[in-house]
């Protein structure tokens, strides 16, 4: 499956999820946006996406959100954050539901500082968001062992300034930097259309903000 006909976005009302939904709908994809019950769904529905309210910490609600989909042409993107239980068990529930539904393509968005990229963040950041990073790392480990056609995207820190259109993917854990969350949506849109990202863990950073944590140069991944 190179170009999924349907994409389910968990965390669709956030800047990245909304941007991804916008790009997908305009490209002719069916989009289902899943977020908390009570989330502001009207902007997504105005795009032409279908909104489903669900508590991702409740496996039954996650299963219901993925019911009756064309599994051979569907991909799931999980862009979840907040509490440690959402970062870990929420993401794990989505992974399990996709596997149970027979959906093979899965993109998990976590953060630089997870897993083998822990050394890319400074001690202050580790102290501030370490619990969230550890929770997301558990989700990464679960996805790798799931048997799905997975891709893990670790964005750099959020860039407050306006989108630059310079978001890039880097295939190394030894990199740090920032990326605007709208640009992150564009990055995920592009990787969904490529089989070259399956089984890879990629950092997402604005190419003008990318910094190596080693002596090696930073070079964008070829997808």
Asked if 55 and 38 touch (Cβ cutoff 8 Å), the reply is: no
Percent of the chain with pLDDT over 70: 99
| Coil/strand/helix, residue 165 | coil
State pTM to two decimals.
0.94
List the 30-35 sheet strands across, edge first. 50-53, 30-35, 6-10, 74-78, 105-109, 149-155, 200-206, 167-170
**What pLDDT, on the 0 to 100 scale, is given for residue 2?**
56
Which structural domains are found in the chain, ordered by start? 6-212 (3.40.50.720)
Give the number of other Cβ atoms within 10 Å of residue 190's Cβ: 15
What does the pLDDT look like over 152-201, one tens digit per residue? 999 999 987 899 999 999 999 999 999 999 999 999 999 998 878 999 99
Rounded to an integer, what is the distance from CA 23 to the centroid of its chain? 15
pLDDT averaged over every residue in the chain? 92
> Given pLDDT bands bounded at 50, 70 and 90, which one contains residue 77?
very high
* Residue 125 parent element (H or E): helix 123-144
Give the number of other Cβ atoms within 10 Å of residue 171's Cβ: 15
Asked if 14 and 71 touch (Cβ cutoff 8 Å), the reply is: no
Tell which wins on pLDDT, 223 or 36.
36
């Amino acid at each position: 499956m190179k170009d999924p006909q349907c994409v389910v976005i968990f965390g669709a009302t956030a800047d990245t999820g909304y941007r991804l939904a916008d790009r997908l709908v305009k490209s002719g994809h069916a989009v289902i946006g899943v977020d908390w019950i009570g989330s502001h769904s009207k902007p997504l529905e105005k795009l032409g996406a279908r909104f489903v309210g669900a508590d991702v910490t409740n496996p039954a609600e996650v299963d219901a959100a993925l019911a009756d989909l064309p599994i051979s042409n569907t991909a799931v993107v999980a862009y979840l954050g907040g509490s440690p239980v959402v970062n870990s068990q929420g993401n794990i529930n989505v992974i399990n539901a996709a596997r149970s539904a027979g959906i093979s393509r899965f993109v998990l968005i976590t953060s630089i500082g997870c897993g083998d990229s822990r050394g890319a963040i400074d001690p202050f950041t580790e102290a501030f968001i370490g619990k969230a990073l550890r929770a997301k790392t558990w989700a990464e480990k679960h996805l790798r062992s799931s048997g799905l056609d997975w891709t893990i995207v670790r964005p750099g820190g959020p860039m407050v300034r306006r989108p630059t259109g310079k978001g890039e993917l880097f295939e190394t854990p030894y990199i740090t930097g920032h990326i605007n969350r709208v640009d992150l949506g564009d990055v995920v849109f592009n990787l969904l259309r490529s089989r070259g990202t399956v089984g890879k863990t990629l950092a997402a950073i604005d190419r003008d903000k990318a910094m190596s944590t080693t002596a090696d140069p930073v070079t964008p991944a070829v997808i």
